[in-house]
């Protein structure tokens, strides 16, 4: 009887120990997941401010549309952000009392120094992207990828990956409906693949974008 009782006691202890280990494992797993979801992104990304705040809304009201500053050159290449020389056409002298414009004139126009804008959409050297193929070839609107920037009074915060040095905007999912103008960015690789799949039935060959 004593041996049987001892065996039952040992079995109960083992089951109890097993549950304790399982509970600690579960607590550790949950804690790790919470840490990964909350702490890791804050450690991985740093937040930076643009050298000058900028109102797309004011410029759209004055100039008409995106193509006044972001245009295709004669050779078909896309101009991207306007150069200082292009901005000088309007901003040699203050047009408003806005302190950002005053800073722009004093620190960049008068010193003939390009603004070191932080590029939300800058891609690694191994990636090729054609604006012409999307805007001219597929008749896509700027808002599809860049959001409704024309109504924004200031620039979004810039989050930089501490490891790669690239913007957080270019990787992951934006969680925005494809093909709709949105008040937010859509230039992430996963979204590109989803859009290609919807439009063509295929995510495309890797070598279409990656050199």
Q: What is the pLDDT of residues 24-71, one digit of tens each?
A: 778 887 877 777 667 777 788 899 999 999 999 999 999 888 888 999
How many structural domains is the chain composed of?
Answer: 2
Residue 175 has pLDDT above 80, yes or no: no
Token reading at 188: 């992430």
In a domain, 75, yes or no: no
Residue 14 DSSP code? H
How many whole angstroms from its chain centre is CA 5? Answer: 65
Per-residue H/E/C for 80-97: CCCCHHHHHHHHCCCCCC
Is 11 domain-assigned? yes
In-domain check, residue 179: yes
- Whether 83 and 116 have beta carbons less than 8 Å apart is answered as no
Percent of the chain topping pLDDT 70: 81
User: Does residue 85 form part of some domain?
Assistant: no
β partners of residue 48: 158
pTM (predicted TM-score): 0.70
Would 78 be classed as within a structural domain? Answer: no
Residue 183, domain extent: 118-208
**Range with lowest mean pLDDT among 65-74, 159-168, 169-178:** 169-178
**Cβ atoms within 10 Å of 167's Cβ, excluding its own:** 21
Give the pLDDT of residue 11.
Answer: 57
In a domain, 73, yes or no: no
User: Under a CB-based contact definition with an 8 Å cutoff, are residues 115 and 104 in contact?
Assistant: yes
User: Is residue 29 a part of any domain in this protein?
Assistant: yes
d(CA 172, CA 186) in angstroms, rounded, equals 10
């Amino acid at each position: 009887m004593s041996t049987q009782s001892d065996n039952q006691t040992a079995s109960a202890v083992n089951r109890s120990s097993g549950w304790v280990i399982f509970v600690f494992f579960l607590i550790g797993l949950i804690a790790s997941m919470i840490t990964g979801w909350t702490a890791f992104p804050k450690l991985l990304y740093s937040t930076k401010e643009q050298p000058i705040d900028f109102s797309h809304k004011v410029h759209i009201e004055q100039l008409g549309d995106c193509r006044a500053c972001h245009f295709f050159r004669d050779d078909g290449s896309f101009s991207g952000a306007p150069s200082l020389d292009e901005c000088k056409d309007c901003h040699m002298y203050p047009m408003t009392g806005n302190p950002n414009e005053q800073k722009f004139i004093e620190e960049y126009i008068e010193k003939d120094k390009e603004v070191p804008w932080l590029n939300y959409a800058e891609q690694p050297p191994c990636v090729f992207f054609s604006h012409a193929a999307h805007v001219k070839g597929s008749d896509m609107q700027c808002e599809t990828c860049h959001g409704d920037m024309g109504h924004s009074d200031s620039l979004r915060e810039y989050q930089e990956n501490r490891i790669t040095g690239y913007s957080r905007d270019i990787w992951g999912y934006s969680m925005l409906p494809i093909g709709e103008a949105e008040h937010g960015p859509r230039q992430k690789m996963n979204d590109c693949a989803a859009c290609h799949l919807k439009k063509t039935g295929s995510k495309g060959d890797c070598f279409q974008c990656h050199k």
